[in-house]
Amino acid sequence: MNKEQLMVHLKRSGYLKSPEVIAAFEKTPREKFIPEGLSHMAHEDTPIPIGYYQTISAPHMYAIMLELAEIKKGEKVLEVGTGSGYGAALISKLVGQKTYVDSIEIIPELAEVAKQNLAHSKIKNVKVIVGNGNLGLAAEAPFDKIIVTAGAPEIPKELVRQLKEGGKIVIPVGTPAFQELLVGVKRNGKIEYTTHGEVIFVPLVKKE
């Protein structure tokens, strides 16, 4: 598929719905976030390995998560699991150029790759931080939205703490073999969540 065919597929399949998310996909060059030898797969709707036992998720999965997150311009967003930087790039279009996206990556080498990919894509409103995503980013909290791109056995307590009252978290929860995509809204300090289907993500790394 080329990019135009991918966009048609994502719209017809019902993954892309809102004008804002559609525009973010149109403006973000996925090929800039794929390893060179696999760039011919950039517009296939499939996960792609990016090294260090990690993958860039299929485009439809990013579409699902971002549609569920309902990110508005100017909102403070934390992404857990930068990977190659594609998710952060999409989010950067949704929050607007004047707002920074914070993105945490536990693998230093991958964080460096993401920074280079974002720079090559001329995206300047993303801060990539090397750190443990389970611990969030307390220095920048609270967040309106938190997007987690790795599977966790439960919603990490620190992420709940760092979410604004009324804020929303999108996260795959379960075992490595079976996960459900949850959308949680913080009410009175607790998360009320809804489930949105079975998914498979790489595990959220726990090392300190």
Q: Output the pLDDT for position 144.
A: 98
Q: Output the pLDDT for position 202.
A: 84
Q: Output the pLDDT for position 204.
A: 84
The 10 Å CB-count burial string (b at 16+, else e) for 102-135 is bbbbbbeebbebbbebbeebebebbebeeebbbe
**Would residue 208 count as lying in a domain?**
no
**Would residue 205 count as lying in a domain?**
no
User: Each residue of 168-183: pLDDT tens digit?
Assistant: 999 999 998 889 999 9
**Which is catalytic among the residues 57, 84, 92, 103?**
57
**Would residue 150 count as lying in a domain?**
yes
User: Each residue of 111-168: pLDDT tens digit?
Assistant: 999 999 999 999 999 999 999 999 999 999 999 999 999 999 999 999 999 999 999 9
3-state secondary structure of 88: helix
- The yes-or-no verdict on residue 90 having pLDDT over 70 is yes
Q: Output the pLDDT for position 117.
A: 97
**Would residue 204 count as lying in a domain?**
no
Q: How many residues does the chain have?
A: 208
**Would residue 174 count as lying in a domain?**
yes
**Would residue 206 count as lying in a domain?**
no
What confidence tier does 203 reach under pLDDT thresholds 50, 70, 90?
Answer: confident
Q: Residue 123 belongs to a domain with what CATH number? A: 3.40.50.150
Q: For residue 7, what are the contacts with CB-CB under 8 A and spacing of at least 6?
A: 16, 22, 25, 26
Q: Is 57 designated active site?
A: yes
Amino acid at 120: H
What confidence tier does 208 reach under pLDDT thresholds 50, 70, 90?
Answer: very low
Q: Output the pLDDT for position 53.
A: 86
User: Each residue of 22-37: pLDDT tens digit?
Assistant: 999 999 999 999 999 9
Q: Output the pLDDT for position 176.
A: 83
User: Each residue of 43-62: pLDDT tens digit?
Assistant: 999 999 999 889 999 999 99
State the residue range of the domain holding 145: 3-199
**Would residue 11 count as lying in a domain?**
yes
pTM of the model: 0.94
Domain count, the chain: 1
**Would residue 120 count as lying in a domain?**
yes
